[in-house]
């Protein structure tokens, strides 16, 4: 891979897909600035990534705070001298239908899953233009397919997909590529943090084996590998793509 020497900024990097992307990027020779709200997890990941050399910069950041986002990008460039890749992996999920989703729950979903991504992209553009860098947004299979019971989450990921496509067209003249990955069910803390207890989560994962044609749920490395492909120069002619990495889930009907 040709990511050696590149600088990544990764949100949601203290767990799941974001964390695995940070690990794979540093293994590939990249430097990583990673954002999260859990200070202890930030410290733990820093120790893991900086075993051999200082390639990781932890930044405590709430991505819904515009000023903190701007500072995180500025600190990344100050520390490493450049920015090549922005990975927007922070996100939340919550159950709710059109009838019972509260305005507060709706707004929180949009703030974290969409508005934060929008601001990060905006602030990163001047730096990515200098390096002809790229952006990868972590979306979901629900951005391209309809499922009941998670309406705010589904709408937020559809918005991320359209943000990806529209900005890819607008930023192409600046030689900035913009893509998204659309995972199916992946074993992370996402569903647990939504309030799903361990028993329900185990049953959900078992059922999900039947809803993904390939016969298993995903692991964070499945998605992180796709992210690194899109970040790589090998994908230099790829932009505006929403890449399903979902074991074929997007091919099926809701069940």
Catalytic residue IDs? 153
User: CA 53 to CA 80: how far, in whole Å?
Assistant: 13
Ramachandran angles phi, psi of 109, nearest 5°: -60, -45
Placement of tokens 């540093």 in the chain: 26
Residues 6+ apart with CB under 8 A from 28: 1, 3, 4, 228
> How do strand 85-88 and strand 56-60 relate by DSSP bridges?
unpaired
Task: Work out whether the CA dihedral 23, 24, 28, 32 comes out positive or negative.
Answer: negative
User: CA 122 to CA 112: how far, in whole Å?
Assistant: 15
91 DSSP assignment:
-
User: CA 110 to CA 131: how far, in whole Å?
Assistant: 30
Task: Work out whether the CA dihedral 110, 106, 209, 161 comes out positive or negative.
Answer: negative
């Amino acid at each position: 891979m040709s990511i050696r020497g590149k600088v990544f900024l990764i949100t949601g990097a203290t767990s799941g897909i974001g964390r695995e992307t940070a690990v794979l990027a540093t293994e590939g020779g990249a430097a990583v600035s990673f954002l999260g709200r859990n200070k202890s997890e930030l410290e733990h990941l820093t120790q893991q990534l900086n075993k051999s050399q200082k390639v990781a910069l932890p930044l405590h950041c709430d991505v819904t705070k515009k000023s903190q986002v701007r500072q995180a990008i500025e600190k990344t460039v100050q520390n490493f001298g450049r920015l090549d890749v922005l990975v927007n992996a922070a996100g939340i999920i919550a159950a709710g239908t059109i009838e019972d989703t509260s305005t507060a729950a709706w707004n929180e979903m949009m703030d974290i899953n969409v508005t934060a991504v929008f601001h990060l992209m905006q602030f990163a553009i001047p730096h990515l233009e200098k390096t002809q860098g790229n952006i990868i947004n972590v979306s979901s299979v629900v951005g391209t397919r309809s499922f009941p019971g998670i309406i705010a989450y589904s709408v937020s990921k559809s918005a991320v997909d359209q943000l990806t496509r529209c900005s890819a067209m607008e930023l192409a003249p600046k030689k900035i590529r913009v893509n998204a990955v659309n995972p199916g069910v992946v074993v992370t803390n996402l569903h647990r943090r939504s309030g799903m207890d361990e028993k329900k989560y185990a049953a959900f994962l078992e059922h999900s084996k039947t809803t993904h044609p390939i016969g298993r749920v995903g692991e964070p490395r499945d998605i992180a590998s796709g992210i690194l492909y899109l970040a790589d120069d090998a994908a230099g002619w790829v932009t505006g793509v929403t890449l399903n990495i979902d074991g074929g889930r997007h091919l099926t009907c809701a069940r």
